[in-house]
Amino acid sequence: RSTVANLVRLINLPENIQQAVIDGRISGAHARALLPLPTPEMQTAAMNQVIKLTLSVRQTERLVKSLLAEKKPKPKPRKTLPAELAALETQFRDSLGTRVNIEKSSRGKGGKVIIHYYSDEELNSIYDAIVGEDTL
């Protein structure tokens, strides 16, 4: 039963990896170790490394684990701002000379204005623009 289940799982792999198993270039266990990789391209690249370096199944599993760890999380998609808030964001940016983000609260009331700065001098100039004094 487990043999059949493992063979069925291999159907989810790209044809070139299935062919490598048939040809004996990698084992079924090597191929199963490649299954967690999210794209056929990543699976094929990993298979090529397995063949080139003659990795064991355990080494293949470690390779897959390291490849998955390298994958960076996707940035959260930014919610589209209403036109009036987008215009305000632009006005802030133009006035302060730096990146500014406006985020509305998920509850619909309020939110926050995020002003980015990249040096102490830039922070001082933002302070001067907002407060109107040279104090920092």
The total number of structural domains that make up the chain = 2
- Name all contacts of 45-48 with Cβ < 8 Å and 24+ positions apart: 47/16, 47/17, 47/20
pLDDT in tens, 9-58: 888 899 999 999 999 999 999 999 999 999 999 999 999 999 999 999 99
- Residue 75 domain-assigned? no
CB atoms inside a 10 Å sphere around CB 61: 17
- Residue 136 domain-assigned? no
pLDDT in tens, 54-113: 999 999 999 999 998 876 666 666 677 889 999 999 999 988 888 999 988 878 788 999
Tell me the residue range of the domain where 117 lies.
Answer: 83-131
pTM of the model: 0.51
Q: 70, 93, 122 — which closes off a domain?
A: 70
